[in-house]
Copies of this chain bind each other. A is one copy, B any other.
Amino acid sequence: MNASSKPERTRLSAEDWEEAALGLIADQGVGALAVEALARQLGVTKGSFYWHFRTREALLLAALERWEQYGEREVLGQIETIADPRERLPELFRRVAHELRPHRVYAALLKALDHPLVVPVMARVSQRRTDFLNTAYREAGLPPEDAINRARLTYAAYVGFLQLNFTLGLPRLGHDEFDAYIEHMIATLIPA
């Protein structure tokens, strides 16, 4: 009967609300973040919510901070363990391309950049990732003035792909078509 994973939790914590909020953001967007809807989904009422949070914005802020801290930094962390710098970028692209969940919140926040609370978070996250690409490209042998622009181009391609194929349903590449696209992207963007 209950939508969450733990079907019957007796009491709720603030973290439960934040996690539920992130889930709702992931598959319905920031605009759908309503307290009564969330409460229904958690099997409680507004009374519970306003004990944990002072306002709706407070929940959004807490959820965003939580996402930035816990849910977001995993991807790049694994990559840094790859020894050969020239293998790092292709491996990053292939891994990122075959995961779905981690991108869903990011894609949703991308569509909420008019909201003042999400802008700084997205600015920080995007900047960190672009910086990572920048150093990766330099370590792969690209001259610094090229590396920064290549990093921008790469990350823009990532963001655009999210919008076009994730949110919008553009011709929905088939599995092998998708792999071909990824390999083409690697061949085009990564220096031989």
Contact = CB atoms under 8 A, between A and B. Distances in A.
Main secondary structure of the interface of A (DSSP, over half): helix
Interface string A171-190: 10000000011001100110
A146 B171 CA distance: 17
Interface stretch (A65-73, A84-92, A112-120): A112-120
A20 interface: no
B114 A167 contact: yes
Residue among A31, A110, A171 with the highest chain B CB neighbour number at 10 A: A110
A112 B114 contact: no
22 contacts: A111-B112, A111-B113, A113-B168, A119-B168, A119-B169, A122-B168, A149-B184, A149-B185, A150-B184, A150-B188, A153-B157, A153-B181, A153-B184, A155-B164, A156-B156, A156-B164, A157-B160, A159-B159, A159-B160, A159-B163, A159-B164, A188-B188
Interface of A: 28-29, 31, 110-114, 119, 122-123, 126-127, 130, 145-146, 149-150, 152-153, 155-164, 167-171, 180-181, 184-185, 188-189
